[in-house]
Structure 1
Amino acid sequence: MRAACRQSVRTAMLILGLVAASTAVAEPPERQEREALRVCADGNNLPFSNQAGEGFENRIAEMMAEDLGVPLTYVWAPQVMGFVRNTLELRVCDLIMGTPAGYEFVQNTNPYYRSVYSLVVPEDSELDVTRLSDPAFEGRRIGVVAETPPAVPLRRSGARIQGYPLMVDTRVRAPVRDAIEDVVSGHTDGAVLWGPLAGYYAARQDPPLEVIPLVDDDTGAQLDYRITMGVRHGEPHWKDWINDFIDRHQAEIDAILADYGVPLLDRRGRLIEAGQGEGS
């Protein structure tokens, strides 16, 4: 009898210890009031964001802060490995403006845009294709950022790849700008880049480069992505507020993205022509 009692006491103490330990590591409760909209962002990453507030994510964040009625503040960090861990997870900020749908390190909001990898070529180029399997790529020197989805299909099509690094400290290097400059100089015949980057940098050349969204690709590579905002796991009310904001301001968001030349796709993956809008 005494042995059974001692065992019961030990079991009870073990349970209490586990409860105490789980309480000690539990996440703090979700904040209900916000004194500021605290955004985690790369300070040198146009067209998305920079410290001068010139990116489209900056402009959308300004709309959000105004809607919340609070100041907008930033925590600047290069968007390299460890970005989420060193910003959002440390609770020094509450929002990442651009994360692909399904990105497991954050809780994704609803998407606020969908874009696609695009071919950037000179205006007078004969390379007018909308799929990576097109035989016209054979023998052409094409710029592509290493480890991005277009790289393998381009090689299979016989393109000569000019590679640029993927993970860089944007304070030091600008591989996409390098890729665009190589197209302008004629070092490459074209470049296949993520849509927002392609549209933004192509429009800023003199003369502007042509952007061809790869909407007819049949290689099986994932070239289009839905982009969400990222918040911490366990913050459903914050996520719900942002989803409501996106729903109420989608037309204004689309207009901002159009200003930056972002190729936009509708829910069915079809290209949205300038001025058309998702609901047209």
Structure 2
Amino acid sequence: MHMNKFFITALCLGTSLTIPQAQAEQNKPLKVCAAENEMPYSNKAGEGFENKLAELVGKALGRKIEYLTWSDPRYYIRDTLDKGLCDVAMGVDKGDPRVLTTQLYYRSGYVFISREADKLNLENWDSEALRKAQRIAFVPGTPPEVMMKAIGRYNDMFNYSQELVGFKSARNQYIKYETSKLVSEISSGHAEIAALWGPSAARYVKASTTPLVMTMIPDNNVRADGQKVDFHFSTSMGVRKNDPTLLAQLNKVIEDNRNEITELLEEEGVPLVAEPDAP
């Protein structure tokens, strides 16, 4: 499970068991379990792109949106979805074993971010620019960390990586890295390269006053022991395992509104990749 996908919005919807009940549910608000501060996905002010996606789903189902916020991304499925406080989680990995997942509504990947003026040739993890860079920003616990170890640059960056911690909770030491801060490291020239999850970085790359370049990292990476390291992921909505009816409704919403969903993601600047051919 790659770490960024814990920073997500969850969307709530009433379960319909009978026809009269389904009609009653139609008038109820759609309760969205959303992160109170996990931008660019969601915040209390509803400014994240997952907030916009939730609004789109609510509109498609003819339901008003209400938000319930959570603060700890590690346990939000257990503490919200599983307890019935909400019924849909937006932004989960397709096939997440904790839930039933819809068809994907987008596929993206990790990107290299650099300054346009530097004209760095960053095709893959073998790129010379990665060997020469003084500072490379990445989030521990994500695929880029694995590849930093594989190319022998992890130890060089250890102290720098500790400087990038944006937040540490008192309880259980939940550590958070702010993507906006990591992107600003590149804008300011403090670091030459960042390797970040594209959807979390796109908004800040777009807003940077220093022109930046996002380069999609190919999905063919192999760690030191020869095992493949995934860099592209498909994003779905998740529902409780006992709720296939809702799953079917959401699959229809995704199918019917695919163009609008893609437009919303492109407006955000999210780099999209094609779905791989089914095996």
TM range (shorter): 0.7 to 0.9
- C-alpha distance in 1 between matches for 2:254 and 2:72: 23
- C-alpha distance in 2 between matches for 1:158 and 1:125: 23
Cα contact 1:118–1:213 (8 A) shared by 2: yes
Q: Does 1:188 align with 2:159?
A: no
- C-alpha distance in 1 between matches for 2:123 and 2:81: 37
Cα contact 2:121–2:127 (8 A) shared by 1: no
The 1:168–1:234 alpha-carbon spacing in structure 2 relative to 1, beyond 3 Å, is farther
Which ranges in structure 2 are unaligned for 5 or more consecutive residues? 1-13, 170-174, 223-227
Q: Does 1:150 align with 2:175?
A: no
Which ranges in structure 1 are unaligned for 5 or more consecutive residues? 1-28, 270-280
Q: Does 1:111 align with 2:104?
A: yes
Cα contact 1:119–1:211 (8 A) shared by 2: yes
Residue 258 of structure 1: how far off its partner (Å): 0.3
After TM superposition, the structure 1 = structure 2 runs for residues 261-276 of structure 1, keeping only pairs within 5 Å, are: 261-268=269-276
User: What is the CA RMSD across the aligned residues, in angstroms?
Assistant: 2.3
1:62 to 47, 51, 55: 55
- C-alpha distance in 2 between matches for 1:63 and 1:250: 11
Residue 90 of structure 1: how far off its partner (Å): 1.3
The one-character-per-residue Cα deviations of 1:97-155 (angstroms, maximum 9, x if unpaired) are 11011211221111100000001111112422121232331142210000101112123
Residue 185 of structure 1: how far off its partner (Å): 2.1
1:203 to 163, 186, 206: 206
Residue 166 of structure 1: how far off its partner (Å): 9.8
The one-character-per-residue Cα deviations of 1:65-108 (angstroms, maximum 9, x if unpaired) are 11221211111002422111111111111111110112112211
Cα contact 2:34–2:69 (8 A) shared by 1: yes
Cα contact 1:179–1:191 (8 A) shared by 2: yes
After TM superposition, the structure 1 = structure 2 runs for residues 33-182 of structure 1, keeping only pairs within 5 Å, are: 33=22, 34=25, 35-140=28-133, 141-159=135-153, 160-161=156-157, 162-163=160-161, 164=164, 175-182=178-185
- Tell which structure's C-alpha radius of gyration is larger: 1
Cα contact 2:125–2:151 (8 A) shared by 1: yes
Query: Percent identity at matched positions?
Result: 31
Structure 2 counterpart of 1:213? 216
The 1:203–1:136 alpha-carbon spacing in structure 2 relative to 1, beyond 3 Å, is same
The TM-score normalised by the length of structure 2 is: 0.79
Give the partner amino acid of 1:146.
Answer: P
May I ask how many residue pairs the two structures share in their alignment? Answer: 239
The TM-score normalised by the length of structure 1 is: 0.78
Residue 211 of structure 1: how far off its partner (Å): 0.8
The 1:228–1:79 alpha-carbon spacing in structure 2 relative to 1, beyond 3 Å, is farther
